[in-house]
Amino acid sequence: MSDTGHVETALAGSPDAVAPEATPKLPVPVVRPPSRKPTGKWLRLLLILLVAAGGIGGGVYWWLHRIPPLPEGIASGNGRIEADPIDIATKFAGRIAELRVDEGDMVSAGQVLAVMDTRDIQQSLEKAQAQVAQAEKAVNEAKALLKQMQSQVLLATQEMERVQALLKNGWATRELYDQRVQQLNTSRAAEVAAQARVDQAEHALEAGLHDVELYKVNIADNALVAPKDGRIEYRLANVGEVLPAGGKVFTMLDVSYVYMDIYLPTLTAGRVKIGDDARIVLDAYPEYPVPAKVTFVSAQAQFTPKMVETKTEREKLMFRVRVRIDPGRLKPYAKDVRSGLPGVAYVRFRPDVEWPERLKGQP
Protein backbone atom coordinates (compact mmCIF):
# COMPACT_ATOMS: atom_id res chain seq x y z
CA MET A 1 0.00 0.00 0.00
CA SER A 2 1.30 3.35 -0.81
CA ASP A 3 1.73 6.21 1.58
CA THR A 4 -1.31 7.89 0.20
CA GLY A 5 -3.42 4.87 0.91
CA HIS A 6 -2.24 4.74 4.49
CA VAL A 7 -3.11 8.34 5.02
CA GLU A 8 -6.67 7.89 3.64
CA THR A 9 -7.20 4.81 5.84
CA ALA A 10 -6.01 6.62 8.91
CA LEU A 11 -8.25 9.58 8.26
CA ALA A 12 -11.22 7.32 7.75
CA GLY A 13 -10.67 5.49 11.02
CA SER A 14 -10.04 8.60 13.07
CA PRO A 15 -13.05 9.82 15.12
CA ASP A 16 -12.27 13.44 14.29
CA ALA A 17 -12.32 12.80 10.63
CA VAL A 18 -14.77 14.86 8.53
CA ALA A 19 -16.83 13.08 5.86
CA PRO A 20 -16.50 14.54 2.39
CA GLU A 21 -19.50 16.60 1.01
CA ALA A 22 -22.04 14.69 -1.08
CA THR A 23 -22.09 15.60 -4.78
CA PRO A 24 -25.47 17.25 -5.76
CA LYS A 25 -27.61 15.49 -8.41
CA LEU A 26 -28.27 17.51 -11.60
CA PRO A 27 -31.73 17.34 -13.34
CA VAL A 28 -31.83 15.20 -16.41
CA PRO A 29 -32.93 17.35 -19.48
CA VAL A 30 -35.93 16.12 -21.49
CA VAL A 31 -35.12 15.87 -25.15
CA ARG A 32 -38.13 16.56 -27.50
CA PRO A 33 -38.17 16.02 -31.22
CA PRO A 34 -37.95 19.31 -33.20
CA SER A 35 -41.27 20.66 -34.67
CA ARG A 36 -41.53 20.79 -38.42
CA LYS A 37 -42.47 24.33 -39.60
CA PRO A 38 -43.11 25.16 -43.22
CA THR A 39 -40.18 26.81 -44.78
CA GLY A 40 -40.33 30.12 -46.72
CA LYS A 41 -40.32 28.21 -49.97
CA TRP A 42 -43.58 26.42 -49.14
CA LEU A 43 -45.20 29.69 -47.96
CA ARG A 44 -44.38 31.40 -51.23
CA LEU A 45 -45.74 28.47 -53.20
CA LEU A 46 -48.98 28.50 -51.19
CA LEU A 47 -49.39 32.25 -51.72
CA ILE A 48 -48.85 31.88 -55.46
CA LEU A 49 -51.49 29.16 -55.62
CA LEU A 50 -54.02 31.31 -53.73
CA VAL A 51 -53.40 34.30 -55.98
CA ALA A 52 -53.72 32.17 -59.08
CA ALA A 53 -56.97 30.64 -57.86
CA GLY A 54 -58.36 34.09 -57.09
CA GLY A 55 -57.37 35.39 -60.51
CA ILE A 56 -58.94 32.44 -62.26
CA GLY A 57 -62.14 32.82 -60.23
CA GLY A 58 -62.31 36.57 -60.94
CA GLY A 59 -61.72 35.97 -64.63
CA VAL A 60 -64.49 33.39 -64.78
CA TYR A 61 -66.88 35.71 -62.94
CA TRP A 62 -66.02 38.59 -65.28
CA TRP A 63 -66.50 36.41 -68.33
CA LEU A 64 -69.89 35.20 -67.14
CA HIS A 65 -71.10 38.66 -66.12
CA ARG A 66 -69.37 40.87 -68.68
CA ILE A 67 -71.47 43.30 -70.71
CA PRO A 68 -71.23 42.60 -74.43
CA PRO A 69 -69.80 45.49 -76.47
CA LEU A 70 -72.24 47.88 -78.14
CA PRO A 71 -72.89 47.43 -81.86
CA GLU A 72 -71.73 50.07 -84.31
CA GLY A 73 -74.32 52.85 -84.40
CA ILE A 74 -75.03 53.02 -80.65
CA ALA A 75 -73.10 55.30 -78.29
CA SER A 76 -73.27 55.67 -74.54
CA GLY A 77 -72.36 58.13 -71.83
CA ASN A 78 -72.63 58.45 -68.07
CA GLY A 79 -75.03 60.89 -66.46
CA ARG A 80 -77.62 61.50 -63.79
CA ILE A 81 -81.40 61.60 -63.99
CA GLU A 82 -82.61 65.18 -63.67
CA ALA A 83 -86.04 66.81 -63.55
CA ASP A 84 -86.67 70.46 -64.35
CA PRO A 85 -86.66 72.50 -61.12
CA ILE A 86 -89.37 75.13 -60.65
CA ASP A 87 -88.95 77.89 -58.07
CA ILE A 88 -92.12 78.78 -56.15
CA ALA A 89 -91.46 82.42 -55.30
CA THR A 90 -93.36 85.48 -54.11
CA LYS A 91 -94.56 88.16 -56.50
CA PHE A 92 -94.59 90.87 -53.84
CA ALA A 93 -92.62 91.50 -50.67
CA GLY A 94 -94.48 90.15 -47.66
CA ARG A 95 -94.70 87.79 -44.72
CA ILE A 96 -95.44 84.06 -45.04
CA ALA A 97 -98.75 83.36 -43.31
CA GLU A 98 -99.19 79.66 -44.07
CA LEU A 99 -97.34 76.69 -45.59
CA ARG A 100 -99.59 73.89 -46.80
CA VAL A 101 -97.00 71.38 -48.10
CA ASP A 102 -93.54 70.18 -47.15
CA GLU A 103 -90.51 68.53 -48.71
CA GLY A 104 -91.29 65.29 -50.51
CA ASP A 105 -94.99 66.00 -51.03
CA MET A 106 -96.53 65.35 -54.43
CA VAL A 107 -98.53 68.36 -55.65
CA SER A 108 -100.87 68.91 -58.59
CA ALA A 109 -101.21 71.88 -60.93
CA GLY A 110 -103.19 74.71 -59.31
CA GLN A 111 -102.77 73.43 -55.76
CA VAL A 112 -102.11 76.17 -53.17
CA LEU A 113 -98.68 75.58 -51.61
CA ALA A 114 -98.30 78.68 -49.42
CA VAL A 115 -100.26 81.80 -48.48
CA MET A 116 -98.75 85.23 -47.84
CA ASP A 117 -100.10 87.80 -45.40
CA THR A 118 -102.49 90.03 -47.40
CA ARG A 119 -104.13 92.13 -44.68
CA ASP A 120 -102.75 95.39 -46.12
CA ILE A 121 -103.97 94.56 -49.63
CA GLN A 122 -107.32 93.52 -48.18
CA GLN A 123 -107.70 96.96 -46.62
CA SER A 124 -106.84 98.61 -49.94
CA LEU A 125 -109.41 96.39 -51.62
CA GLU A 126 -112.13 97.45 -49.20
CA LYS A 127 -111.22 101.10 -49.75
CA ALA A 128 -111.44 100.64 -53.52
CA GLN A 129 -114.80 98.91 -53.15
CA ALA A 130 -116.11 101.89 -51.13
CA GLN A 131 -114.89 104.25 -53.85
CA VAL A 132 -116.70 102.14 -56.42
CA ALA A 133 -119.92 102.44 -54.44
CA GLN A 134 -119.46 106.20 -54.29
CA ALA A 135 -118.77 106.34 -58.03
CA GLU A 136 -121.93 104.36 -58.72
CA LYS A 137 -123.94 106.94 -56.81
CA ALA A 138 -122.25 109.73 -58.73
CA VAL A 139 -123.16 108.02 -62.00
CA ASN A 140 -126.78 107.69 -60.92
CA GLU A 141 -126.91 111.39 -59.95
CA ALA A 142 -125.34 112.45 -63.24
CA LYS A 143 -127.80 110.35 -65.20
CA ALA A 144 -130.71 111.86 -63.28
CA LEU A 145 -129.42 115.38 -64.00
CA LEU A 146 -129.05 114.42 -67.64
CA LYS A 147 -132.68 113.33 -67.80
CA GLN A 148 -133.68 116.63 -66.25
CA MET A 149 -131.69 118.55 -68.83
CA GLN A 150 -133.20 116.47 -71.60
CA SER A 151 -136.69 117.33 -70.30
CA GLN A 152 -135.80 121.01 -70.29
CA VAL A 153 -134.53 120.74 -73.86
CA LEU A 154 -137.79 119.08 -74.87
CA LEU A 155 -139.84 121.78 -73.17
CA ALA A 156 -137.75 124.59 -74.67
CA THR A 157 -138.10 123.01 -78.12
CA GLN A 158 -141.88 122.79 -77.83
CA GLU A 159 -142.16 126.42 -76.60
CA MET A 160 -139.92 127.66 -79.40
CA GLU A 161 -142.02 125.79 -82.01
CA ARG A 162 -145.28 127.26 -80.65
CA VAL A 163 -143.86 130.79 -80.65
CA GLN A 164 -142.55 130.27 -84.14
CA ALA A 165 -146.08 129.29 -85.35
CA LEU A 166 -147.57 132.31 -83.60
CA LEU A 167 -144.93 134.56 -85.09
CA LYS A 168 -145.94 133.53 -88.61
CA ASN A 169 -149.56 134.67 -87.94
CA GLY A 170 -148.41 137.83 -86.17
CA TRP A 171 -149.73 136.72 -82.81
CA ALA A 172 -146.28 136.73 -81.12
CA THR A 173 -143.44 139.19 -81.13
CA ARG A 174 -140.01 138.63 -82.51
CA GLU A 175 -138.54 139.29 -79.09
CA LEU A 176 -140.51 136.41 -77.55
CA TYR A 177 -139.33 134.12 -80.32
CA ASP A 178 -135.71 135.11 -79.68
CA GLN A 179 -136.16 134.39 -75.98
CA ARG A 180 -137.49 130.90 -76.72
CA VAL A 181 -134.57 130.21 -79.07
CA GLN A 182 -132.12 131.38 -76.41
CA GLN A 183 -133.83 129.22 -73.83
CA LEU A 184 -133.59 126.18 -76.12
CA ASN A 185 -129.85 126.78 -76.73
CA THR A 186 -129.23 127.08 -72.99
CA SER A 187 -131.11 123.85 -72.31
CA ARG A 188 -129.11 122.03 -74.98
CA ALA A 189 -125.83 123.30 -73.52
CA ALA A 190 -126.94 122.12 -70.09
CA GLU A 191 -127.79 118.75 -71.60
CA VAL A 192 -124.27 118.49 -73.08
CA ALA A 193 -122.75 119.38 -69.71
CA ALA A 194 -124.94 116.80 -67.97
CA GLN A 195 -123.87 114.15 -70.48
CA ALA A 196 -120.22 115.04 -69.84
CA ARG A 197 -120.75 114.61 -66.11
CA VAL A 198 -122.31 111.22 -66.75
CA ASP A 199 -119.29 110.19 -68.82
CA GLN A 200 -116.93 111.46 -66.13
CA ALA A 201 -118.77 109.58 -63.39
CA GLU A 202 -118.80 106.39 -65.48
CA HIS A 203 -115.04 106.65 -66.11
CA ALA A 204 -114.45 107.14 -62.39
CA LEU A 205 -116.57 104.08 -61.71
CA GLU A 206 -114.63 102.08 -64.31
CA ALA A 207 -111.32 103.13 -62.73
CA GLY A 208 -112.61 102.11 -59.32
CA LEU A 209 -113.67 98.73 -60.66
CA HIS A 210 -110.20 98.24 -62.18
CA ASP A 211 -108.63 99.02 -58.79
CA VAL A 212 -110.88 96.47 -57.14
CA GLU A 213 -109.89 93.84 -59.71
CA LEU A 214 -106.21 94.73 -59.34
CA TYR A 215 -106.31 94.24 -55.57
CA LYS A 216 -108.15 90.96 -56.05
CA VAL A 217 -105.46 89.79 -58.47
CA ASN A 218 -102.73 90.83 -56.03
CA ILE A 219 -104.44 88.92 -53.24
CA ALA A 220 -104.76 85.88 -55.49
CA ASP A 221 -101.09 86.16 -56.48
CA ASN A 222 -100.15 86.02 -52.80
CA ALA A 223 -101.48 82.47 -52.74
CA LEU A 224 -98.54 80.53 -54.20
CA VAL A 225 -99.78 77.70 -56.40
CA ALA A 226 -98.08 74.84 -58.22
CA PRO A 227 -97.85 75.57 -61.96
CA LYS A 228 -97.53 71.86 -62.81
CA ASP A 229 -97.73 68.42 -61.29
CA GLY A 230 -94.57 67.64 -59.40
CA ARG A 231 -92.78 66.93 -56.15
CA ILE A 232 -91.59 69.44 -53.55
CA GLU A 233 -87.81 69.05 -53.38
CA TYR A 234 -86.77 71.84 -50.97
CA ARG A 235 -88.51 74.15 -48.50
CA LEU A 236 -86.50 77.38 -48.41
CA ALA A 237 -88.51 79.51 -45.96
CA ASN A 238 -90.75 79.12 -42.94
CA VAL A 239 -93.95 80.63 -41.57
CA GLY A 240 -93.48 84.19 -40.34
CA GLU A 241 -90.46 85.02 -42.48
CA VAL A 242 -90.56 88.27 -44.44
CA LEU A 243 -89.41 87.79 -48.01
CA PRO A 244 -88.62 90.33 -50.72
CA ALA A 245 -90.31 90.29 -54.10
CA GLY A 246 -89.15 87.13 -55.81
CA GLY A 247 -88.23 85.42 -52.54
CA LYS A 248 -88.15 81.63 -52.93
CA VAL A 249 -90.39 79.52 -50.70
CA PHE A 250 -90.18 76.09 -52.37
CA THR A 251 -88.31 74.35 -55.15
CA MET A 252 -90.35 71.67 -56.90
CA LEU A 253 -89.47 69.14 -59.58
CA ASP A 254 -91.46 68.96 -62.79
CA VAL A 255 -92.02 65.20 -63.02
CA SER A 256 -93.23 65.56 -66.59
CA TYR A 257 -89.79 66.71 -67.80
CA VAL A 258 -87.20 64.09 -66.82
CA TYR A 259 -83.95 63.80 -68.73
CA MET A 260 -80.28 62.82 -68.61
CA ASP A 261 -77.38 64.84 -70.01
CA ILE A 262 -74.40 62.93 -71.37
CA TYR A 263 -71.26 63.98 -73.25
CA LEU A 264 -70.21 62.42 -76.52
CA PRO A 265 -67.04 62.95 -78.58
CA THR A 266 -67.03 64.94 -81.79
CA LEU A 267 -67.25 62.03 -84.22
CA THR A 268 -70.24 60.54 -82.43
CA ALA A 269 -72.05 63.75 -81.50
CA GLY A 270 -71.89 64.90 -85.11
CA ARG A 271 -74.00 61.93 -86.16
CA VAL A 272 -76.63 62.27 -83.43
CA LYS A 273 -79.87 64.03 -84.45
CA ILE A 274 -82.83 65.43 -82.57
CA GLY A 275 -85.42 62.69 -82.18
CA ASP A 276 -82.99 59.76 -82.24
CA ASP A 277 -84.04 56.79 -80.16
CA ALA A 278 -82.32 56.35 -76.80
CA ARG A 279 -82.34 54.23 -73.65
CA ILE A 280 -81.60 55.17 -70.03
CA VAL A 281 -80.33 52.49 -67.66
CA LEU A 282 -80.09 53.49 -64.00
CA ASP A 283 -77.50 51.92 -61.73
CA ALA A 284 -80.24 51.17 -59.20
CA TYR A 285 -82.40 49.38 -61.81
CA PRO A 286 -80.04 47.89 -64.40
CA GLU A 287 -82.65 45.39 -65.58
CA TYR A 288 -85.14 48.12 -66.63
CA PRO A 289 -83.97 50.15 -69.65
CA VAL A 290 -86.16 53.24 -70.02
CA PRO A 291 -87.00 54.37 -73.59
CA ALA A 292 -86.17 58.02 -74.33
CA LYS A 293 -85.54 60.44 -77.19
CA VAL A 294 -82.76 62.88 -78.00
CA THR A 295 -84.15 66.39 -77.48
CA PHE A 296 -80.99 68.52 -77.51
CA VAL A 297 -77.51 68.46 -79.01
CA SER A 298 -75.25 71.30 -77.93
CA ALA A 299 -73.83 73.54 -80.63
CA GLN A 300 -70.81 74.32 -78.45
CA ALA A 301 -68.24 71.86 -77.23
CA GLN A 302 -67.48 71.17 -73.59
CA PHE A 303 -64.04 70.43 -72.14
CA THR A 304 -62.53 72.24 -75.13
CA PRO A 305 -58.70 72.29 -75.32
CA LYS A 306 -57.16 75.75 -75.17
CA MET A 307 -56.00 75.57 -78.78
CA VAL A 308 -57.82 73.57 -81.46
CA GLU A 309 -55.52 73.39 -84.43
CA THR A 310 -55.28 69.73 -85.41
CA LYS A 311 -57.70 66.94 -86.20
CA THR A 312 -56.61 65.04 -83.10
CA GLU A 313 -57.46 67.99 -80.91
CA ARG A 314 -60.86 68.37 -82.59
CA GLU A 315 -61.62 64.74 -81.84
CA LYS A 316 -61.12 65.47 -78.13
CA LEU A 317 -64.05 67.88 -78.07
CA MET A 318 -67.09 66.70 -76.11
CA PHE A 319 -70.67 67.81 -76.86
CA ARG A 320 -73.59 67.73 -74.44
CA VAL A 321 -76.52 65.59 -75.57
CA ARG A 322 -79.84 65.46 -73.71
CA VAL A 323 -82.13 62.44 -73.80
CA ARG A 324 -85.64 62.90 -72.39
CA ILE A 325 -88.15 60.33 -71.19
CA ASP A 326 -91.60 60.52 -72.79
CA PRO A 327 -93.99 62.40 -70.40
CA GLY A 328 -96.82 59.99 -71.19
CA ARG A 329 -94.66 57.06 -70.10
CA LEU A 330 -93.65 58.92 -66.94
CA LYS A 331 -97.18 59.79 -65.79
CA PRO A 332 -97.99 56.44 -64.11
CA TYR A 333 -94.60 56.53 -62.33
CA ALA A 334 -94.59 60.19 -61.30
CA LYS A 335 -94.32 59.32 -57.60
CA ASP A 336 -91.17 57.26 -58.26
CA VAL A 337 -89.27 60.01 -60.08
CA ARG A 338 -86.16 61.08 -58.17
CA SER A 339 -83.48 63.46 -59.31
CA GLY A 340 -79.79 62.62 -59.09
CA LEU A 341 -79.83 58.86 -59.71
CA PRO A 342 -76.70 57.91 -61.72
CA GLY A 343 -76.84 55.76 -64.80
CA VAL A 344 -75.94 55.38 -68.45
CA ALA A 345 -77.74 56.74 -71.50
CA TYR A 346 -77.49 54.92 -74.83
CA VAL A 347 -78.13 56.78 -78.10
CA ARG A 348 -78.85 54.99 -81.39
CA PHE A 349 -77.75 57.28 -84.22
CA ARG A 350 -78.23 54.60 -86.90
CA PRO A 351 -81.90 53.57 -87.20
CA ASP A 352 -81.01 50.35 -89.03
CA VAL A 353 -79.14 48.99 -86.01
CA GLU A 354 -81.11 46.75 -83.67
CA TRP A 355 -81.01 47.37 -79.95
CA PRO A 356 -79.21 44.64 -77.97
CA GLU A 357 -81.54 42.37 -76.06
CA ARG A 358 -80.61 43.92 -72.72
CA LEU A 359 -81.57 47.41 -74.00
CA LYS A 360 -84.82 46.70 -75.83
CA GLY A 361 -87.00 47.56 -72.84
CA GLN A 362 -90.76 47.75 -72.84
CA PRO A 363 -92.48 48.63 -76.15
What fold characterizes domain 86-117+223-243?
OB fold (Dihydrolipoamide Acetyltransferase, E2P) (2.40.50)
Share of the chain above pLDDT 70, in %: 81
Q: Residue 313: pLDDT band by 50, 70, 90 thresholds?
A: low
Of 235 and 341, the one with more pLDDT: 235
Of 12-26, 154-168, 312-326, 329-343, the poorest mean pLDDT is in: 12-26
Q: Residue 1: pLDDT band by 50, 70, 90 thresholds?
A: very low
Task: With 0.85 as the threshold, say if the pTM is over it.
Answer: no
- Find the length of the chain: 363
Nearest residue to 131 (alpha-carbon basis) of 199, 215, 195, 198: 215
Domain with CATH 1.10.287.620 in the chain: 119-221
Domain with CATH 2.40.50.100 in the chain: 86-117+223-243
pLDDT, average across residues 105-133: 95
Amino acid 246: pLDDT: 95
pLDDT, average across residues 220-225: 96
Amino acid 53: pLDDT: 77
Question: Does the pLDDT at position 7 exceed 50?
Answer: no
Domain with CATH 2.40.30.170 in the chain: 74-83+254-359
Question: Does the pLDDT at position 304 exceed 50?
Answer: yes
Of 28-32, 106-110, 215-219, 285-289, the poorest mean pLDDT is in: 28-32
Looking at domain 74-83+254-359, does it have CATH number 2.40.30.170?
Answer: yes
Pick among 1.10.287.620, 3.30.70.20, 3.40.640.10, 1.10.10.10: CATH of 119-221: 1.10.287.620
Tens digit of each residue's pLDDT (9 = 90 or more) over 239-267: 999 999 999 999 999 988 999 999 999 88
Question: Does the pLDDT at position 359 exceed 80?
Answer: yes
pLDDT, average across residues 197-219: 95
Amino acid 54: pLDDT: 77
Q: Please state, rounded to an integer, the average pLDDT across all residues of the chain.
A: 84
Of 59 and 46, the one with more pLDDT: 46
Question: Does the pLDDT at position 308 exceed 50?
Answer: no
What are residue 276's DSSP bridge partners?
none
Of 335 and 139, the one with more pLDDT: 139
